[in-house]
Amino acid sequence: MADIPDLTGRVAIVTRADSGPGLATTHRLAVNGARVVMACSDLGTAESAKRQVLGTTGVADERLEAWALDLTDQLSIDLFVGKLLRTCDRLDLLINDTGARSGSPQRPVPGVEPSVGVLHLGHMALTLGLLPLLVGTRGSRVVTVADQGRRLGPPRGLRGTGSVAVLFAVELARRLAAAGQGTLSLAAAPGSTQLRSWARGAVDTARTTLRAATDPDAASGLVYAPGPLGRSCPVPRGPRLRAKDRRAAVTFWRRSLRMLSQDEPPQLLPRPLAVVPFSI
Q: What would the pLDDT profile of 19-29 be if each residue is shown by its tens digit?
A: 888 999 999 99
Sign of the CA dihedral with 231 first, then 101, 240, and 183 last: negative
Residues 188, 239 contacting (CB under 8 angstroms): no
The residues, ordered by sequence, that sit 6+ positions from 37 with a Cβ below 8 Å of its Cβ are 11, 12, 13, 14, 65, 67, 84
- Dmax over CA atoms of the chain, in Å, equals 73
> Per mean pLDDT, which range of 98-107, 140-149, 175-184, 203-212 is the poorest?
98-107
44-52: Cβ within 8 A, 24+ apart: 45/18, 45/19, 46/17, 46/18, 48/18, 49/17, 49/18, 49/19, 49/23, 52/23
* Alpha carbons 151 and 115: distance in angstroms, whole number: 11
Residue 120 clears pLDDT 60, i.e. is over it: yes
Question: How would residue 198 be classed by pLDDT, with cut points 50, 70 and 90?
Answer: very low
Domains of the chain: 11-268 (3.40.50.720)
Q: How far is CA 253 from CA 111, 129, 179, 206, 275, in A?
A: 17, 15, 16, 27, 29
233: three-class secondary structure by DSSP: coil
Residue 159 clears pLDDT 90, i.e. is over it: no
* Alpha carbons 20 and 276: distance in angstroms, whole number: 54
Mean pLDDT of the region 214-220: 94
Question: How would residue 194 be classed by pLDDT, with cut points 50, 70 and 90?
Answer: very low
Dihedrals phi, psi of 149, to nearest 5 degrees: 85, -20
Mean pLDDT of the region 44-56: 91
CA nearest 78: which of 256, 266, 209, 261?
Answer: 261
Residues 188, 143 contacting (CB under 8 angstroms): yes
Residues 158, 165 contacting (CB under 8 angstroms): no
Question: In percent, how much of the chain has pLDDT > 70?
Answer: 76
pLDDT of residue 180: 94
DSSP string across 134-157:
HHTSTT-EEEEEPPSSSPPP--TT
Residues 173, 244 contacting (CB under 8 angstroms): no
Q: Higher pLDDT residue, 216 or 3?
A: 216
Question: In percent, how much of the chain has pLDDT > 90?
Answer: 55
pLDDT of residue 279: 58
Q: What would the pLDDT profile of 239-256 be if each residue is shown by its tens digit?
A: 765 566 788 889 889 999
Mean pLDDT of the region 157-164: 53
pLDDT of residue 160: 38
Residue 196 clears pLDDT 70, i.e. is over it: no
pLDDT of residue 56: 85
DSSP 240: P
Strand partners, 145: 97, 188
Mean pLDDT of the region 49-53: 91
Q: What would the pLDDT profile of 69-92 be if each residue is shown by its tens digit?
A: 999 899 999 999 999 999 999 999
* Alpha carbons 267 and 181: distance in angstroms, whole number: 8
Residue 62 clears pLDDT 80, i.e. is over it: yes
pLDDT of residue 237: 80
pLDDT of residue 66: 95
Strand partners, 18: none
Residue 43 clears pLDDT 70, i.e. is over it: yes
pTM of the model: 0.87
